[in-house]
Amino acid sequence: MGKVYVFDHPLIQHKLTYIRDKNTGTKAFRELVDEVSALMMFEITRELPLEEVEVETPVATAKSNVLAGKKLGIIPILRAGLGMVDGIVDLVPAAKIGHVGLYRDPETLMPVEYYIKLPSDIHERELIVTDPMLATGGSAIEAIHSLKKRGATHIRLMCLIAAPEGVEAVQEAHPDIDIYVAGLDEKLNEKGYIIPGLGDAGDRLFGTK
Ligand code: PRP
Ligand code: URA
């Protein structure tokens, strides 16, 4: 069974509070999502493997470490997942980025895929799927399914806020996936919104509605 990591770093928790706040406007919301995404990525990359190399400093030869292992791929779920990309890529600029376009049908809450464009070598990459909200889990489950169908084998899911229902659904559908969140909330309401959550992540990021 995949693990769930809730990042309790004080900076992440502090910034998440202002992301939740309904009085936070679009500009600040975007900036905060950027910052929290970078901080979460910093935590997620803590375990990346290293290899020792030699480097010439101006005065001597040093043994020093560089990243080894699989290259990274960042897969935002459109639209709202896009808001997490810049903060992540600031830390790992060589990562490739794939896009999965999904929206949640407002009546059925089922995900509808409308776009997919991925790096050709996803099967060789360590993929991080990003979406601020893990609500019913339908969108994340479908996105991960799409990636696996195309050969991806190493996938992690990074969300700002998750509902227990979504976590359970992803764990059941994809028991190999670890989930990383800044907040694990109470429940879903009857419209499939996370309570207390932050509202509609896409609308708040892009200033729509
Ligand atoms: C939101 C959110 C997730 C999805 C979560 O996207 O960004 O992708 O809902 O809900 P789920 O876990 O129940 O599937 P939305 O469909 O509103 O599209 P948007 O990102 O284009 O606004
Ligand atoms: N999508 C959102 O943007 N917010 C929620 O609370 C649930 C799904």
Which tens digits make up the pLDDT trace of 140-159?
A: 999 999 999 999 999 999 99
Collapse the DSSP code of 188 into the 3-class scheme (helix H, G, I; strand E, B; otherwise coil) and give the result: strand
What pLDDT does 65 receive?
A: 98
Q: Measuring from atom 7 of ligand 1, which residue has the nearest CA?
A: 80
Q: Closest ligand 1 atom, CA of 103?
A: 16
106: pLDDT strictly greater than 90 = no
pLDDT at residue 56 greater than cutoff 90: yes
Average pLDDT over residues 78-106: 95
Annotation says 200 is catalytic: yes
- 39-53, 54-68, 100-114, 168-182: range with lowest mean pLDDT: 100-114
Backbone angles phi, psi at 187, to 5 degrees: -170, 180
Q: What does the mean pLDDT of the chain come to?
A: 96
More confident residue, 137 or 1: 137
d(CA 94, CA 88): 11
Which positions ≥6 away from 11 have C-beta within 8 Å? 39
Residue 178 predicted with pLDDT over 90: yes
pLDDT bin (cut points 50, 70, 90) of residue 6 is: very high
Mutate which of 75, 103, 104 for ligand 1 pocket (most atoms within 8 A of beta carbon)? 104
Active site residue 90: no
What percent of the chain lies above the pLDDT cut of 90?
A: 94
Give the number of residues written for the chain: 209
C-beta pairs of 195-204 under 8 Å, 24+ apart in sequence = 195/163, 196/20, 197/20, 197/133, 197/161, 197/163, 198/19, 198/20, 198/132, 198/133, 198/160, 198/161, 199/22, 201/80, 201/83, 201/132, 201/133, 201/160, 202/79, 202/80, 204/24, 204/26, 204/29
- Which ligand 2 atom sits nearest the alpha carbon of residue 200? 3
CB-based contacts of 57, cutoff 8 Å, min separation 6? none
Q: Does the pLDDT at position 209 exceed 90?
A: no
pLDDT of amino acid 63: 98
- Return the residue whose CA atom lies nearest to atom 3 of ligand 2: 200
Closest ligand 2 atom to 192 CA: 7
Does 45 qualify as catalytic in the annotation?
no
For the cut 90, the answer to whether the pLDDT of residue 104 exceeds it is no
Burial (CB < 10 A; 0-12, 13-18, 19+), residue 119, is middle
Q: Provide the whole-model pTM.
A: 0.96
94 within 8 A of 73, measured Cβ to Cβ? no
Helix (H, G, I), strand (E, B) or coil at 132: coil
Is residue 185 annotated as a catalytic residue, yes or no?
no
User: What is the C-alpha R_g of the chain?
Assistant: 18
CA distance 186 to 70: 35
Q: Are 89 and 130 in contact (CB under 8 A)?
A: no
